[in-house]
Amino acid sequence: MRTTVVLKDELVERARALCDESTLSGLLNRCLADWVAHGRQRELEARLRDEYALGAAESASVSREFADVDTEDWPAW
């Protein structure tokens, strides 16, 4: 896609110092790819947190259901 953008010179120079891309297009494509990957990582982390919370709640529920069974046939000291 062709587009016209206005970039801050200082940001472009700092980005070029961190990247091995030789063209501005390559630099911008690399930056966008990194940004998308970072966004996907955040989405995955959010899904994992949600699933972990759901699993922890289910584990606590099962533990409460079996609390009496765990002490069944134990002597009452």
As for how many domains the chain has, the answer is 1
For 36-57, what is each residue's pLDDT tens digit?
999 999 999 999 999 999 999 8
- Residue 42, in any domain of the structure: yes
Is 21 exposed, middle or buried, given 0-12, 13-18 or 19+ CB atoms closer than 10 A?
A: middle
Q: What is the pLDDT of residues 16-34, one digit of tens each?
A: 999 999 999 999 999 999 9
* Structural domain range at position 65: 29-69
How far, in Å, CA of 56 to CA of 1, rounded? 46
Q: What span, in angstroms and rounded, lies between the C-alpha atoms of 39 and 20?
A: 22
Residue 9 lies in a domain: no
**Under 8 Å between Cβ of 21 and 27:** yes
47 in any annotated domain: yes
| 13 falls within a domain | no
Cα 18-19-22 angle, rounded to 5 deg: 135
